[in-house]
Amino acid sequence: MATSVIQNPPTTEQRRQLDEDLTFIDEKLRGVIVWMRAWYGEDSQVAIRAEETSGALQRLKWELERVQQKTRAATV
């Protein structure tokens, strides 16, 4: 697995906008999960895939945090 290296780190404003966008996506996805469960049932493949998508988004956010921490540590 390749390691992440920031070649052109985001500006403070770009990072703030990314955080806002990811929060918005997360909130919308939580709503989608509620609807998928209500419409198709807790154990439906549709609800499961929506939950998996939420999990993937969380993993992306964690990885971005790790990369940011590594970048900070490298610049200290």
Could you report the per-residue pLDDT of 3-30, keeping only the tens digit for each?
Answer: 666 678 889 999 999 999 999 999 999 9
* The model's pTM: 0.81
Query: Is residue 6 assigned to a domain?
Result: no
Domain hosting residue 36, numbered range: 17-75
Q: Which residues contact 39 (CB under 8 A, 6 or more apart)?
A: 46
Is 5 a member of any domain?
no
| Number of folded domains that form the chain | 1
pLDDT of 28 reads 97
In a domain, 60, yes or no: yes
Q: At residue 1, does pLDDT exceed 60?
A: no
Residue 49 lies inside a defined structural domain of this protein: yes
Residue 68 has pLDDT above 70, yes or no: yes
**Is residue 7 included in any domain, yes or no?**
no
Domain-embedded: residue 64: yes
Q: Is there a contact between 54 and 62 (Cβ–Cβ < 8 Å)?
A: no
